[in-house]
């Protein structure tokens, strides 16, 4: 038996329960979780944005130590430190063949597959195939990524989602160039990682935006050169900071139609607006045919930062070793398994950045 955070149903009170993990299969890895980050996608599992099956073990951003491996596993061995990859590509579908593992057909739509774990004998679903809000978990070999020694084990959890998504959106999806101007709207863990990505890319003007002024210090620590509180005239304010043109790149990291529209309007002619946040299917925004032609802007999304974790986690570890990436600046709260509900409350209110669950030794 291991303890885990279980969501019995949508908007139902969360429970910390003892669950039973299945035996380790030939291609499986049992991981003793050291830490897990509380991501907005976890909240989206229970607030109606996504549609998982229940009961559900929450959590998809985690790191830990390998406790046991199946007979066919060759990638890791007991004692290895690993990051969990919630978008573990199959390596065989058309998208994987196009070197786009973040769009893998096996991952698309798989928000709550079962891993054989049970609660009081009933089947449990795992958030994004991970179920990281647990003392231990079982994952297929392709879902674990070796964690280089330069990355702290607890903070390494953030490499599993927030950091890969944010830095990847800048580096892989938008391919921001040195000296370009960047706007980031929404400063949770992913938004702050996007600001960091802009800094690492050598962006010139980096404008960070969030509700109120609470996150200004976090934004500037991550690399923002300017901070703006959300305002109906935001696009005009951004143009004032970019010689009247608008930003070369805007990243919307919330997933709200009105903010996507604002980010679009704040981009210069010929610039790019990248949607990073996961929004609701009934939250729509519109564009007229003339503006699409006239402004020549590009509108795209970034899924998992267009990342291949097996490639990108070691690259990010190099940034950590070189002192260019400090994961500790993203964590504003350290909690136990019983603190997840409060972490969600902070997230709804827009307070803090990442809450990091630390497992008892």
d(CA 260, CA 139): 35
Closest CA to 215 of 334, 349, 340: 349
Nearest CA-CA partner of 102 in 308, 313, 253 = 308
Q: Residue 161: is its pLDDT beyond 90?
A: yes
Kindly tell me if the per-residue pLDDT of 48 is higher than 90.
no
Fold adopted by 165-304: Rossmann fold (3.40.50)
pLDDT at 109: 75
Q: Which of 10-14, 21-25, 298-302, 330-334 has the lowest mean pLDDT?
A: 10-14
- Residues 6 or more apart whose Cβ sits within 8 Å of residue 89: 95, 96, 101, 102, 104, 106, 107, 142, 308
Nearest one of 229, 163, 173 to 196, comparing CA atoms: 163
DSSP state, residue 211: S
Burial 244-263 (b: 16+ CB within 10 A, else e): eebbbbbbbbbbbbebbbbb
**What would the mean pLDDT of 294-311 be, rounded to a whole number?**
96
First to last CA, the chain: 16
Domain 2-160+326-358 has CATH 3.90.180.10: yes
Are 332 and 355 in contact, with CB atoms under 8 Å apart? yes
Question: Length of the chain in residues, anyone?
Answer: 361
Q: Where in the chain is the domain with CATH 3.40.50.720?
A: 165-304
User: What is the reported pLDDT for 360?
Assistant: 78
pLDDT at 108 (0 to 100): 83
Determine the pLDDT at residue 361: 72
């990091």: which residue's tokens? 356
Confidence of residue 34 (pLDDT cuts 50, 70, 90): very high
Segment 299-307 mean pLDDT: 97
Query: CATH 3.90.180.10 spans which residues of the chain?
Result: 2-160+326-358
């Amino acid at each position: 038996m291991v303890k885990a955070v279980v969501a019995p149903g949508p908007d139902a009170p969360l429970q910390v329960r003892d669950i039973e993990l299945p035996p380790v299969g030939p291609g499986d890895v049992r991981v003793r979780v050291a830490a897990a980050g509380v991501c907005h996608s976890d909240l989206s599992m229970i607030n109606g944005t996504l549609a998982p099956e229940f009961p559900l073990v929450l959590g998809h951003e985690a790191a830990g130590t390998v406790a046991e491996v199946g007979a066919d596993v060759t990638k890791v061995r007991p004692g290895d430190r690993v990051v969990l990859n919630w978008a573990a590509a199959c390596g065989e579908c058309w998208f994987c063949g196009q070197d786009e593992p973040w769009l893998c057909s096996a991952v698309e739509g798989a928000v709550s597959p079962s891993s054989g774990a049970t609660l009081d004998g009933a089947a449990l679903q795992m958030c994004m195939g991970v179920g990281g809000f647990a003392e231990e978990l079982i994952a297929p070999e392709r879902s674990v990524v070796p964690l280089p020694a330069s990355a702290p084990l607890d903070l390494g959890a953030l490499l599993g989602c927030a950091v890969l998504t944010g830095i990847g959106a800048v580096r892989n999806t938008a391919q921001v160039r040195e000296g370009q101007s960047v706007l980031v709207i929404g400063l949770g863990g992913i938004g702050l990682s996007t600001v960091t990505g802009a800094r690492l890319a050598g962006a010139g003007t980096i404008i960070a935006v969030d509700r109120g002024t609470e996150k200004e210090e976090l934004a500037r620590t991550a690399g923002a050169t300017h901070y703006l509180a959300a305002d109906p005239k935001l696009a005009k304010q951004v143009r004032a900071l970019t010689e009247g043109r608008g930003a070369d790149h805007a990243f919307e990291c919330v997933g709200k139609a009105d903010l996507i529209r604002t980010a679009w309007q704040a981009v210069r002619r010929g610039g790019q607006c990248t949607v990073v946040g996961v929004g609701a299917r009934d939250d729509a925004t519109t564009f007229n045919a003339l503006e699409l032609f006239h402004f020549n802007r590009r509108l795209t999304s970034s899924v998992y930062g267009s990342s291949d974790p097996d490639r990108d986690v070691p690259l990010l570890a190099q940034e950590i070793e070189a002192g260019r990436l400090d994961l500790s600046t993203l964590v504003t709260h350290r909690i136990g398994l019983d603190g997840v509900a409060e972490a969600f409350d902070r997230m709804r209110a827009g307070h803090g950045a990442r809450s990091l669950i630390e497992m008892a030794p």
